[in-house]
Amino acid sequence: MTKKRITKKPTAGQRQCYHCKKWIKAGEDHNCWSTTEEALTRDLPEDLRDAWERIRETAAAFGAQRIYASHKSIMFARKSCYFFVRPNPRYLEVCVFLGREVRAPQVKKVVASSKTRFAHMIRIVHRDEVEPPVTDWLEEAYKSTKE
């Protein structure tokens, strides 16, 4: 016996959000992607909170850029995003976009994100991990991104 998937039929003027699948009335504001840095980091343990603050301070010192929250990540961008942080209760997942592939113990995974960029996935669990070479990679990514 197969189960039938029951979906609610929209009433006149309703639409379904592509992301969260909620039904939204006509004219009603809906932004399920909006969040803030505070909301994403509020429940982090103290060690991760300290690590997050160090990452943010380090990146902010590089120069002019946009730092903003989007869905479940905190993005750091000039003209385009050069790295982002995805807070997790046990670690901070940092994704750095570099023009070269880096093989190091800190890098958990490398994925080609475009013809010229590689996404480097790094897990941070303590403030002391936010030091060279990680900070050097962040700065390299910042400098390689156009203003």
Q: Which helix (H) or strand (E) holds 95?
A: strand 92-98
pTM, to two decimals:
0.78
- The rounded distance, in Å, linking the Cα atoms of 128 and 66 is 25
Residue among 102, 88, 3 at smallest CA distance from 51: 88
pLDDT (tens digit per residue) in 24-78:
888 887 776 667 899 899 999 999 999 999 999 999 999 999 999 988 999 999 9
pLDDT at 102 over 90: yes
Range 82-108 average pLDDT? 97
Q: Which residue has the higher pLDDT, 146 or 63?
A: 63
